[in-house]
Every structure is written in C-alpha cells, then in structure tokens.
Structure 1
C-alpha cells in the first residue's frame, strides 16, 4: 500500500495524490473495495424510472445492480441476479407489466424483491419444494437512498444513515429542499472522459481555472466573485456571488424556487459530494452530475438539469431550456481537454502529485485528503 500520509498534511506542505492513484490497477481495485463500498456512492437518477414497475439495470464498478420503482413509487436497488443460478435478471431498461422474472427458469420476484413463484421447482407442474423456502430467498437488497433525484447506494451496508452522512450539505442547502422538475431529453447531457474519475471531481471543486478555461463564464461570474466551500470531510466545492447569465433575448427568466433568501438572488454554489456526484444550485435551476468510473482511465459523466416549476415543461420555455442546456454543455465541454490532459500527465514518472496553492486549491486538497484517508489503513 502506498504511503499517503503526506497527502493528508496541511495544504502548505502537502503533495497531491501520487500517479498510482490515477493509473494503477491495484489502487483502482482498492478504491472499489474501500471508499466506494464504505460511502454513499451515486449510481443513477430517479427520473430514469419515473413510474411504478419501471426498472433500470446498471453495472457499477463491475457489480450488476437493478434500480426498481415499486408499486408505492419508492425506489429499491438490488443486485441484478437471480437467487437460483445467478442469472442476470434484467438486461435493459423497461416498464414491467408483472413481476421481475428470471429468463432462465422463470423464478419471479415482486418489485420489493420478494420471491413469489418458482415454476416446476419440485418437478413438472410442481411449483413448490420444502427445501426452497421463498421467504429465505429475496433478491439481494442494496442499501439505498434518493436525494435531489440522485440514487445513492452504500454497498458495504455499514455507512452512517444517508441523512447523517450528508447532514451538513443537506442543512447548507435546506432552502432547496423542494420538488425538482426534469423536462426530458433536452435537459440531459453526457460525456465519456478519458481520465480517472478523481480528476473530474478535482476540476469541479475549484474556481482557479475559471479565467483560463471558461472565458465566457468568467465574463459574468469572475474568479474574484468566487469563494471556497470545504466545511466538512464529505464534500467540497466553490460558490459565486454573481451568477446572472442572459438566457433569453427578451430578458425572461425561469421561475425561481420559492422561499429563497437574498443570498441566492445572484448567488450559486457547486459542490462535489464525495465520492462521485457533482451538484449545482441556482435560484431557478439545479443540476446533478453522476460520475461512473470505468477503470483507471475512463469516466462516464451524466448531467441532468432540473427546474423549479412544472411550467418550465411548456413550449413557451423550450427555447430557454435549449439555451440553458447548451450553455452548460459548452462549459462542461471546455473541461474535457483539461481533465484528459491531467490524466496523460499522470504517466510522467517525475510528477510527485503536485504543489497546492494554499489560497486557490483548498477544495482540491480537501478532496485529496478525503481520498487518502479512505484508502489508508485505520490507525
């Protein structure tokens, strides 16, 4: 195991995470078995399974999972495998008209994972067998929680309750604890990045690169208008006191979230909730970015934009929605060369993790320290 104690040093003397944390297969495996298993990791969005009976299979760090909207509208997450012979149950997103049924021997489970039918298990035409107790064979449940439409899982099952783990961030954004409206495909963006997932987090956390990488954004939300956010171990990011882009030529704006304080009249915040979800809030819309690691050098990024009012679904807001989505697509696209360039740089044998600016890089160091702590043996 690599000694990461220097990464956890005060920012003035610390180095960043070493190259092996970005290109080493052993380190990637270690991350999967520690920080992703032990924390609340993001795997999907509720908007992708909006109705009861809808299911979506995903593979997260090599594990087949199944997101299910049950009859009461609650989201369950299971390991996507039959308890009989280990067959994958669902191979594509779909609306079920009945139970979750294994395609191999037709063992069937309800939307809460309970085994209900075992056809011919006791012989032809005999659907029961004393040694196969259905109550003992539910789908393997994965501890889950939905917040801001993001579906989180704690695969290891031993993290604090989500409400406790995320309490400082939930409290910080308490004013935004309101229904979110997703308008469909015109509010979705996706990228495949040739970089380690951590570089996407690091880049998102800090505003230091704003004037050099995002000149248009910097024209109305300047570097000097930003502040660092690093209150607790579980998240870091940046905020701005000046965010008022021109979305429509006639000055119209989207409906605002109700009951916001004056802080949000022109303010916005962008926070990485560790390990793998990036969140942004504004007075009239919000977004969430899910990072799905795919080995050491590839990351799939899914961006979903949400609004404050159902009225935004209407045709009268269609052009504004398209403008807003394109604006964010441009901003996020400008980051691609940066994160991919840093990934290529991690193959330079002389690079030692880098020197932080104690003024500008505090959120990045905060994240590095969190990763190093999660990967290091307990004292």
Structure 2
C-alpha cells in the first residue's frame, strides 16, 4: 500500500465500503465524474477487483502468443496469477497459476514452453489439460490424484482474442453474440498466422477507471497527441455527433473499397460494453505510423488494400484495439492498486514478416510509445487533482465525452448489479 492509499483510507472495513459505494453509485449525478473515493480509496478498489475484475470477462492476450502445444503466457489479475496455454489438442486454456499442493505459482516467467506443468516447489506435475500426473509416493495410498487437478478459469477465444473470467460462473449477457461478430470481423486478419513483434508495459500512477476514461474520449487529443493525430481522425465512430460532411464522404469512399474486398465495416455495438467499428484514417495515410506510411511489407491475412483504416474494438473493462492492414495493436489494462494501473501494448505482424527486412520495431512503436507516455502524464495529473480535498465531480461533454459517460454508466450499473446479488445471497 503506498502513501496515497494510507492517506485516503476513509472506511473502517470493506463491508462498510460496500454500503457506501452502493450509496455513492445510486446517488451519483449522471454525466459527471465519480465521487473521489471511487478513484482513490483502497477498500473501494478491492471491491472493484472483486466485483468487476474477478467476475467479468477480461481480455488477456492473443491466441498467436501460444502458437504451439505447450506454449504459455502468464498474467496477474490483481492477486490472481493466471496461466494461458495451448494444449495438445490445439485448444487455448486458462488455469489459475497456483499448485494444488501448497499453492505455489507454477510458472513465474511471462511466457515459455513446457511439456508438462511442474511445480518448482515439490515437483507436483500436471498435464496440459490440468490433470495431476505426479505427486510423489509420500501422499499415501489413499490419495486421489483425480481430485487435485488445476483449477480452471473460464476461457473463450474469438478472432485471435483470448478472454478469461475468474468467477465461479460465467456472467450473463450478450458476450457470446459479441464473440460471433468479433470472429467475423477479424477473419480477414487471420490472427492465428501472426506473431508478436514487440510489446511494452507502462505503470501509470492512476486509478484504472481514469485510464479507461482517458481512452474513451479524444477531447484531449488536439492539445496532447500530435503524433497520433498525424493519422487518426478524432471521430469516435460513424455515429459520432461531431462528424462533418467531409468525414462522411471520406468514409463512404473508403467503405466502397472495403465492400469490394468483402471487408466487414458496419458499426456493431453490444450495449455500451463491446463495440466494433472500422474507421478510415486521414486521407493519404495507410497505418498509424509517424508519417502514415506502411509499417510492414507483408499485409495481414487475406488483406490486399493497404487503406483499410483502423478497425477499433472496445471491450470494457480493460481493452481497446486498432486493427490495420499490415499490423495490429492491442491494449490491455490491469489494475495494480487504487492508484496504480498496468497498461500493456502489443504489436502483431504477419508471422512470416522478418524484423529489419519487412518491418522496423522502432517505426511500429513510435506513435503509440509517445501517445502512451502522454496519456500517462495526463492520467497521473488527473489522479493528483482528484486526491485533493477540493475535488468534486465535474461535468462531461455529451458531445465530446459520450464514450466516458457510456463507460461510467456500464461500470455503475454492473457494480450495483453485482453488489445486489451479494446482498440477496447473504439475505
């Protein structure tokens, strides 16, 4: 717990915080930012983790990060280590990365390859489906290995994306409908035949909701993101109320090219949580590089048109993404503490592309490295201001910041829904 967390403890325990959190959410003024404790109180952060990040579907990575049998990567969701691997049947699975003997983490590396999963503590050994194979002879003759397999996490994949849910049950909703559309819209990219070109991780001293809020609007872009605006059009989607006639005409021209290549582009939304929309970039640019020129010689999948724009994929609570003609960029947000968030950015290219020949890592990274650092500064200054005793919720623009309003509506509704379930079960 850092110093700011200690200064901001205002509730005796997490149960008291749950009651107060529910009250704050019920009484919040819609279209305004949240009350201060929801951005900086450690007890309320714990509730966020328990009721959002331990119960909802989360984006964790891409299937091409585990291309072959035994390939794995790990991720930390709060205090929950999770292991993503591909088994011998080619299925991507998710397990809680904790041994069924004494609870030690099985895999400590960020990524690797194994024949079986062997706990480094006492060498308990599991196969790639999580079954316990070996526990030694000292467990006695009555020990039943079949009852001590790895604990699974819910895992679903679509279009190369991997999502996990740590809850006992899968959350209700239209997530499967979103996955079907995601599979359709990602088909042209053939993500199974891509590779991770490079990734970066950034620790931002700000609450995770401030990170998402910053992403959900471009009101701040003109004053802060010169590199990004070399190619990005500020409109959030084709329904953006600010979109002018010139943009709509540009979109119409581009969409005809996409239709000719059978590239899906119609706006698809699933509530305010999940959304897919293909947007053109600025005229004369191909992808989100510093000058708008190609990022990789090899195009993705079956794509032939370099002017594919950016297919933007939103998944609340923790991901936004940009799918382009010759490389894709995915973003993952994971909370660390009430005022600290890990933002991971990954760039993927065709699996046959050769670094230094077909693509230059520095060129791929330049725009989003700059943008991430700029957003980090903005988020941290936002957090510092919110920590002030003088802070009070302020109004959002319904024109420029409707994406933020949508996010906070989803967050507030989902949290109250999950808190109500707890009250019902305890009652």
Q: C-alpha deviations, 1:203-242, integer Å up to 9, x for none? A: 1111211211112433443436865486613136987443
Change (3 A) 1:204 1:166: farther
Which residue is 1:276 aligned to? 318
Match of 2:272 among 233, 249, 252: 233
Rounded to whole Å, the distance in 2 between the matches of 1:144 and 1:260 is: 29
Secondary structure in 2 matching 1:378? helix
Matched, 1:35 2:76: no
Rounded to whole Å, the distance in 2 between the matches of 1:354 and 1:239 is: 32
Change (3 A) 1:161 1:174: farther
User: Are 2:290 and 2:366, in contact at CA under 8 Å, matched by a contact in 1?
Assistant: no
User: Are 1:54 and 1:93, in contact at CA under 8 Å, matched by a contact in 2?
Assistant: no
Which residue is 1:125 aligned to? none
Matched, 1:167 2:209: no
Match of 1:129 among 116, 141, 144: 141
Which residue is 1:312 aligned to? 353
User: Are 1:196 and 1:298, in contact at CA under 8 Å, matched by a contact in 2?
Assistant: yes
Change (3 A) 1:166 1:334: farther
Rounded to whole Å, the distance in 1 between the matches of 2:276 and 2:210 is: 14
Matched, 1:196 2:207: yes
1:1-379 map, 5 Å: 1-2=20-21, 3-7=24-28, 9=30, 14-93=31-110, 95=112, 97-122=114-139, 129-130=141-142, 132-160=143-171, 164-165=174-175, 167-168=177-178, 171=181, 174-177=184-187, 178-180=189-191, 182-184=194-196, 186-223=197-234, 228=240, 232-235=271-274, 240-243=279-282, 244=285, 254=296, 255-257=298-300, 265=307, 267-307=309-349, 309-313=350-354, 315-319=356-360, 321-376=361-416, 377-378=419-420
Rounded to whole Å, the distance in 1 between the matches of 2:293 and 2:43 is: 53
Change (3 A) 1:176 1:235: same
User: Are 2:75 and 2:81, in contact at CA under 8 Å, matched by a contact in 1?
Assistant: yes
User: Are 1:205 and 1:272, in contact at CA under 8 Å, matched by a contact in 2?
Assistant: no
User: Are 1:15 and 1:352, in contact at CA under 8 Å, matched by a contact in 2?
Assistant: no
Change (3 A) 1:269 1:318: closer
Secondary structure in 2 matching 1:345? helix
Moved more, 197-206 or 265-274: 265-274
With a CA cutoff of 8 Å and minimum separation of 6, indicate the structure with the bigger relative contact order. Answer: 1
User: Are 1:199 and 1:339, in contact at CA under 8 Å, matched by a contact in 2?
Assistant: yes
User: Are 1:19 and 1:351, in contact at CA under 8 Å, matched by a contact in 2?
Assistant: yes
Give the count of matched residue pairs: 364
| Cα displacement (A) at 1:18 | 1.6
User: Are 1:201 and 1:278, in contact at CA under 8 Å, matched by a contact in 2?
Assistant: no
Unaligned runs of 5+ in 1: 123-127
Change (3 A) 1:209 1:153: same
Q: C-alpha deviations, 1:70-96, integer Å up to 9, x for none? A: 222322221222222323323324645
| Cα displacement (A) at 1:278 | 1.6
Unaligned runs of 5+ in 2: 1-19, 241-266, 422-427
User: Are 2:133 and 2:145, in contact at CA under 8 Å, matched by a contact in 1?
Assistant: yes
